[in-house]
Structure 1
Amino acid sequence: MALRPDLAIIAAAVPARARALDIGCGDGELIAALRDKGVDARGLEIDPSNVTAAIARGQSVVQGDANRDLIDYPADGFDYAILSQTLQTTERPDRVVGELLRIAPRAFVSFPNFAHWRVRLALLWNGRMPVTRLLPVAWYETPNIHHVTVSDFRQLIADKGIRVERAWYLSGDKPTSDAAASWRAEHAIFLISRG
């Protein structure tokens, strides 16, 4: 089975023999891909059924909440911290980003861009929160508690003095350019590091 496009980008960018922590790892799909290329990959996941599925695959995954449990990881315990499609579900994204860069010098952060043109059009046309392929549930069912945009994330990391090493943007499942990413990208992936 092919990896989700954002996970494939992350898997390709993490070098062999690195140590990586996948926060919000789901059933361990990315961990499996990283291990196949020789990465010491581990996971933290809040959903007990996903933890069970990952452990059944032979992966090192513990149940925990990124909002509270990242503090238990040692500083520089990993080379990479990964937070894929989880930032918008955290209570304080700014603090979680700080914890990512405390436990690893580099971090991947990916999220759906709530300023994508289809989202904007749905709000303008219907006056309601949209339901899309990447945001497939109604506003009252969604785990998303923060509606982050590419521009919002760029501002957060600039305010914190965090460096962007690389960014990827996806429209559908295909890469798109940085030009006008704030409204053209459905999904953003950032590789960030300490400033």
Structure 2
Amino acid sequence: MSLLRPDLAVIAANVAPGSRVLDVGCGDGTLMQALRDDKRCDARGMELDSADVGLCVGKGLSVIQGDADKDLAFYPDQSVDYAILSQTLQTTMRPDVVLEELLRIGRRAFVSFPNFAHWRVRLSLLWGGRMPVTRLLPIPWYATPNIHHLTVEDFRELVKERGIKVEGAWFLSGDKQCSAAAANFRAEHAVFLLSR
């Protein structure tokens, strides 16, 4: 498997070979390229940033420029095996609606996000009284694309309220997986595999 960011490596390891995949907020296409080359997936993408769309097209990837908040409605029901949203949920206007759209479009959905209840984030707020800037959240509050700060427990509650099934969950501290025990406190990032 290509060298991938840790949450993307978890997703790639758990996508079945030969699957149809839609990567929403695909960035420069690193995950799509790995799925296409290493798992023979039919990987498609949607990306808001035109420069990243250009990078994807330069890699021979099938990507359109689009906004997850508006353009997912144009995809047919159950048109892919996996809809993927990595490190993007917290940047959308209506994360709950985007999540519903992912599960309408895909038979399953992978969602990864930064956990804003991680102990370093809590410590930064407690001792410094300021929004954290960390290795994994490197942008100051006034420039961050993160508009909905969520925690592992917030996400678990949302999927429970919506009757969404959690098929798998992985928690990352730094670049390594950690146990689910106290994940809301210990995990910097979370990855969930969801279905209806």
User: If the TM-score is normalised by the length of the shorter chain, which range does it land in?
Assistant: over 0.9
| Letter in structure 1 aligned against 2:109 | A
Please state how far the C-alpha of 1:93 moved relative to its aligned partner: 0.3
Residue in 2 aligned with 1:10?
Answer: 11
Instruction: Report the Cα distance in structure 2 between the residues aligned to 1:42 and 1:105, rounded to whole angstroms.
Output: 15
Residue in 2 aligned with 1:41?
Answer: 43
Instruction: Report the Cα distance in structure 1 between the residues aligned to 2:110 and 2:84, rounded to whole angstroms.
Output: 5
| Letter in structure 2 aligned against 1:159 | E
For 1:32-71, what per-residue CA distance to the aligned partner results, in whole angstroms no more than 9, with x for missing partners? Answer: 0000111100000000000000001000000000000000
SS at match of 2:109: strand
Q: Which residues of 2 match residues 1-195 of structure 1 at below 5 A?
A: 2-36=3-37, 37-194=39-196
Instruction: Report the Cα distance in structure 2 between the residues aligned to 1:55 and 1:73, rounded to whole angstroms.
Output: 20
Instruction: Report the Cα distance in structure 1 between the residues aligned to 2:18 and 2:87, rounded to whole angstroms.
Output: 24
Give the TM-score normalised by structure 1. 0.99
| Letter in structure 2 aligned against 1:89 | T
SS at match of 1:137: coil
Instruction: Report the Cα distance in structure 2 between the residues aligned to 1:56 and 1:18, rounded to whole angstroms.
Output: 23
For 1:6-29, what per-residue CA distance to the aligned partner results, in whole angstroms no more than 9, with x for missing partners? Answer: 101101100111100000000100
Unaligned runs of 5+ in 1: none
Please state how far the C-alpha of 1:105 moved relative to its aligned partner: 1.5
Instruction: Report the Cα distance in structure 1 between the residues aligned to 2:116 and 2:167, rounded to whole angstroms.
Output: 22
For 1:97-127, what per-residue CA distance to the aligned partner results, in whole angstroms no more than 9, with x for missing partners? Answer: 0000000120000000000000000000011
Unaligned runs of 5+ in 2: none
- Share of identical aligned residues, percent? 67
Please state how far the C-alpha of 1:2 moved relative to its aligned partner: 1.3
Please state how far the C-alpha of 1:171 moved relative to its aligned partner: 0.3
